[in-house]
Amino acid sequence: MLIMVKLIEDKELNTLMSLIDASNKIVICAHVNPDGDAIGASLALMHFLSRCGKACNVVVPSQFPDFLRWMPGAQDIKVFARQEEEASSIVKAADLIFIVDLNDSRRLMGLETVVLESQASKIMIDHHMNPGDFCRFVISRPEMCSTGEVLCHLFWQMGEIHNLSIEESTCLYTAMMCDTGAFTYASGRPVIYECISYLLSRGIDKDRIYRNVYWTASPARLRLHGYMLYVKLKILNGLHASVMTLTNEERKLFSTKNGDTEGLVNMPLQIQGMRLSIFLTEDTEMPGVVKVSLRSVDDFPCNEMAMEFFNGGGHKNASGGRFQGSMEEALKRVDEAVHKYSSLLK
Instruction: Give residues with Cβ within 8 angstroms of 252, minimum separation 6.
Output: none
Are 231 and 205 part of one and the same domain? Answer: no
What average pLDDT score do residues 235-252 get? Answer: 94
* pLDDT exceeds 80 at position 159: yes
> In the structure, what pLDDT confidence band is assigned to residue 13 with cuts at 50, 70 and 90?
very high
Other beta carbons less than 10 A from residue 51's beta carbon: 15
End-to-end CA distance of the chain: 42
Residue 40's domain is classified under what CATH number? Answer: 3.90.1640.10
Last residue of a domain, one of 178, 193, 214: 214
Please check whether residue 1 lies inside any domain of the structure: no
Establish how many alpha carbons lie within 13 A of residue 19's alpha carbon, considering only the half-sphere containing its beta carbon.
Answer: 19
Residue 1: pLDDT over 70: no
For the segment 201-224, the average pLDDT, to the nearest whole number, is 93
Instruction: Read off φ and ψ for residue 319, nearest 5 degrees.
Output: -140, 170
Predicted confidence (pLDDT) per residue in 302-316, tens digit: 999 999 999 888 888
Q: Mark residue 78 as left, alpha or beta (left: phi above 0; alpha: psi -120 to 50; beta: remaining).
A: beta
Residue 302 lies in a domain: yes
Contact 271, 279 (CB under 8 A): no
Rounded Cα distance, 5 and 27, in Å: 26
Round to whole Å and give the CA distance between 57 and 42: 9
- The pLDDT tens digits for 272-291 are 999 999 999 998 877 899 99
Domain end call among 199, 214, 229: 214
- According to the model, what pLDDT value does residue 262 have? 87
Phi then psi for 303, rounded to 5 degrees?
Answer: -65, -35
- CA geometry: angle 28, 179, 142, nearest 5 deg: 75
Domain coverage including residue 142? 10-214
Let me know: does 83 contact 278? Beta carbons within 8 Å. Answer: no
Q: What are the pLDDT digits (tens) for 254-270?
A: 998 878 898 899 999 99
- Residue 52 sits in the same domain as residue 160: yes
Domain count, the chain: 2
189 inside domain: yes
Whether residues 166 and 280 fall in one domain: no
325 — pLDDT class (breaks 50, 70, 90): very high
Residues 95 and 193 in one domain: yes
Are residues 224 and 207 part of one domain? no
Which of the four pLDDT bands, split at 50, 70 and 90, describes residue 225? very high
pLDDT digits (tens, 9 = 90+) for 23-61: 999 999 999 889 999 999 999 999 999 999 999 999 999
Answer yes or no: is 2 within a domain.
no
Interatomic CA distance for residues 253 and 239, integer angstroms: 31
Gyration radius of the chain's alpha carbons: 20
